[in-house]
Amino acid sequence: MQIDFKKEILLEKKISDPDVVSVLFHEKKQVILRALMYEEKNIMDLRRELKMNPGTIKRHLDDLRAKKLVTEPHVVINKYGIKEKYYRAMARRFIVHLEWP
Amino acid sequence: MNKKGSKKQSYIHEALVDIRLSWRLYKSNFKVFLGAQIISILVFLFLTYPWEFSLSFYFNIELDRNYTFYQIRSLIGMFLILIFFGSSFGLSYDIMSGGDQFTELRGFFHYFREYWWQYILLSLLLLLGTFICSLIVGLFTVYEVFDPTSQGFYIILYLVLYNVMIRIFMYLWVSVLIENFPSLNYQGGIKNAFYENWQILRLNSKRIFSSLFLFFMIFDFPWIVLDILEISMRFIAIEKGWMWYLNFYESYSQIMFPFFKFLAQTVFCFLLAIPMLTLISTRIYNSLKLVNNKKDE
Which distant-in-sequence residues (6+ apart) come within 8 Å of A52 by Cβ? Answer: A28, A32, A46
Give one DSSP letter per residue of B124-189, joined into a string: HHHHHHHHHHHHHHHHHHH-TTS-TT-HHHHHHHIIIIIIIIHHHHHHHHHHHHTTHHHHHHHH--
Question: Which tens digit of pLDDT belongs to each residue from A1-39?
Answer: 344 455 567 888 888 888 888 889 999 999 999 999 888
Does the distance separating the beta carbons of A80 and B99 come in below 8 Å? no
Using pLDDT thresholds of 50, 70 and 90, give the confidence band for residue B8.
Answer: low
Question: Which tens digit of pLDDT belongs to each residue from B86-109?
Answer: 999 999 999 988 888 888 899 899
Dihedral of CA atoms B26, B171, B212, B192 in degrees, nearest 10, equals -90
Whole-number pLDDT of residue B144: 46
Average pLDDT over residues B58-63: 66
The CA distance from B81 to B190, in Å, is 19
> What does the DSSP 8-state code read for residue B29?
T
Using pLDDT thresholds of 50, 70 and 90, give the confidence band for residue B10.
Answer: confident
Question: Which tens digit of pLDDT belongs to each residue from A61-101?
Answer: 999 999 989 988 888 888 777 888 999 999 888 998 888 77
CA B203 to chain centre: 25
Question: Which tens digit of pLDDT belongs to each residue from B114-148?
Answer: 999 999 999 999 888 877 777 776 666 555 444 44
Tell me the pLDDT of chain B averaged across its residues: 81
CA A68 to chain centre: 8
Share of chain B above pLDDT 70, in %: 76
Which one of B55-59, B139-143, B234-238 scores highest in mean pLDDT? B234-238
A8: closest CA of chain B, how far (Å): 24
CA B170 to chain centre: 9
Secondary structure, 3-state, chain A? CCCCCCCCCECCEEECCHHHHHHHCCHHHHHHHHHCCCCCECHHHHHHHHCCCHHHHHHHHHHHHHCCCECCCEEEECCCCCEEEEECECECCEEECCCCC
Dihedral of CA atoms B85, B86, B90, B95 in degrees, nearest 10, equals 40
Whole-number pLDDT of residue B279: 94
Interface ipTM: 0.77
Is the predicted pLDDT of residue B4 greater than 80, yes or no? Answer: no
Using pLDDT thresholds of 50, 70 and 90, give the confidence band for residue B12.
Answer: confident
Q: Does B101 touch chain A (CB under 8 A)?
A: yes
Using pLDDT thresholds of 50, 70 and 90, give the confidence band for residue B152.
Answer: low
- 3 state SS of B112: helix
Whole-number pLDDT of residue A49: 92
Phi, psi of B38 (to 5 degrees): -65, -40
Pairwise pLDDT comparison (A101 vs B155), residue with the higher score: A101
Question: Which tens digit of pLDDT belongs to each residue from B166-184?
Answer: 888 889 999 999 999 999 9
Which distant-in-sequence residues (6+ apart) come within 8 Å of B271 by Cβ? Answer: B33, B34, B37, B41
Whole-number pLDDT of residue B130: 75
CA B149 to chain centre: 35
Tell me the pLDDT of chain A averaged across its residues: 85
Whole-number pLDDT of residue B145: 43
Is the predicted pLDDT of residue B296 greater than 60, yes or no? Answer: no
Question: Which tens digit of pLDDT belongs to each residue from B182-193?
Answer: 999 998 889 999
Chain B residues closer than 8 Å to A32 by CB:
none
Does the distance separating the beta carbons of B101 and A42 come in below 8 Å? yes
The CA distance from B151 to B264, in Å, is 29
Q: How far is CA B297 from CA A84, B133, B293, B294, in A?
A: 21, 42, 6, 5
Phi, psi of A75 (to 5 degrees): -95, 130
With contact defined as beta carbons under 8 Å apart, do B207 and B18 qualify?
A: no
Q: Does B105 touch chain A (CB under 8 A)?
A: no
The CA distance from B89 to B207, in Å, is 19
Q: Does B287 touch chain A (CB under 8 A)?
A: yes
Phi, psi of A94 (to 5 degrees): -115, 125
The CA distance from B83 to B111, in Å, is 9
Q: Which of A80, A83, A85 to mutate to test the interface with B (most CBs of B within 10 A)?
A: A80
- 3 state SS of B278: helix
| CATH topology classification for A13-96 | Arc Repressor Mutant, subunit A (1.10.10)
Chain A residues closer than 8 Å to B283 by CB:
80-82
Among the partner residues B102, B283, B287, nearest to A43 by beta-carbon distance: B102
Number of domains chain B contains: 1
What residue spans define the domains of chain A? 13-96
Question: Which tens digit of pLDDT belongs to each residue from B62-92?
Answer: 666 667 777 888 888 889 999 999 999 999 9
The CA distance from B31 to A17, in Å, is 38
A75: closest CA of chain B, how far (Å): 7
